Amino acid sequence: MHRLAWFFSACFFSNVFANNVDVFGAEDKISAAIVKEYGAEVSSFEAELFAKRLSGLSAKESDAYQHRQIQLEAQVAKKFNFAAVKFDTVYYPDKSLYTTINVLNQVPQISNYAAYPLKKPYDIVDRMYLFSKKAASIYAEHPEIGEHMSCKDFHCIVSENSKIQKELDYLRTSVPHQTEFIDEVMFTDKNLARRRAAIFLLAYYPSIEGVHARLDKLLKADDRFILHDTLRVYGELLVKYPKLKLDLSRPIVLLHHYDEAIRNKALLLINAAAEQKQYKRFIIKQGAYELLSLLKLKQPNNHDIAYQILLKTTKQKYGDRDYAAWESYLRKIM
């Protein structure tokens, strides 16, 4: 095993019984029962899988781990009479892992994620796809840049960096002249990876109003990958242009999505909207139950932002784990 992977593995396995597993989508008593019976096993499996990924997984090993995960998810679902469960594990800069066991009402559909059809000469969507891969490599080598992103565009996938300047210059100058083609890929291409790459090209569109309209249309999608990327770009757009008029109905509904990452991105968008007085009442009236459910999680990606939104929209200062106080207050104003 790679020495770095061994280090992480030792850290995680020494904390197998750590308080780092939670449940989303079940009543509190059932959630507690799930964690009690399966928390240690799920934590151990996810830590082992993460350590293996650090050292490098072969295709055969990856398939074996995927099979084990599916079996464990099915075991939990059968034990507690759920249609399905899905594990979401997030690695944080402080070298901690948090896993959420998401309860599903039905078996999720598998997205048709075909191989990306790269063929020269590359079109602008291909170039964006390759750029995102390069950006991911830079981030992997320097994860600290994720803490303080510096971007000239309203949305970016990596901080301004001399290693990507050539690609950025190309995208900034070329995208405004190819929006019709990019739109066609974004909304109609049969390849999901190309649609996702096209969404990230919105960062370089010349009209903010046009970007806004496209994002509203994309938010109606069902595919979780499209929703994730749309929410991510939308949230960053709102931070840069806070006066945009919003319909928060769909993002609030997505706070109850079975995918942790989609909940996270919906929270980021709503958190940006919560800076505006005109949205505070709507957010707390329509999203109180969802925000309280997310506050009860251990998963920082969900818990921390839900708490920020509650503070902004209520002006109350209860602690982030004082669930009884928050529940009592929210019942009074509903």
pLDDT in tens, 70-105: 999 999 999 999 999 999 999 887 778 999 999 999
Rounded to whole angstroms, the Cα distance separating 200 from 155 reads 8
Residue 153 has pLDDT above 60, yes or no: yes
Cis peptide before 300 (omega within 30 of 0): no
CATH number for 124-333: choose from 1.10.8, 1.25.10, 3.30.479, 2.40.420: 1.25.10
Instruction: Name the residue with tokens 């004082």.
Output: 322
As beta bridge partners, residue 91 has: 97
* pLDDT value of position 74: 97
Structure tokens at 281: 């009442």
Distance CA 70, CA 86 (A): 8
In the chain, list all ranges with CATH 1.25.10.
Answer: 124-333
55-59, 177-181, 212-216, 234-238: range with lowest mean pLDDT: 55-59
Confidence of residue 4 (pLDDT cuts 50, 70, 90): very low
- In DSSP notation, 271-321 reads HHHTTSHHHHHHHHHHHHHHHHHHHT-S-HHHHHHHHHHHHHHH-----TT
Arithmetic mean of pLDDT, 207-218: 97
Q: What is the pLDDT of residue 241?
A: 94
Per-residue tokens: 63: 């398939």
Q: How far apart are CA 144 and CA 188, in angstroms?
A: 36
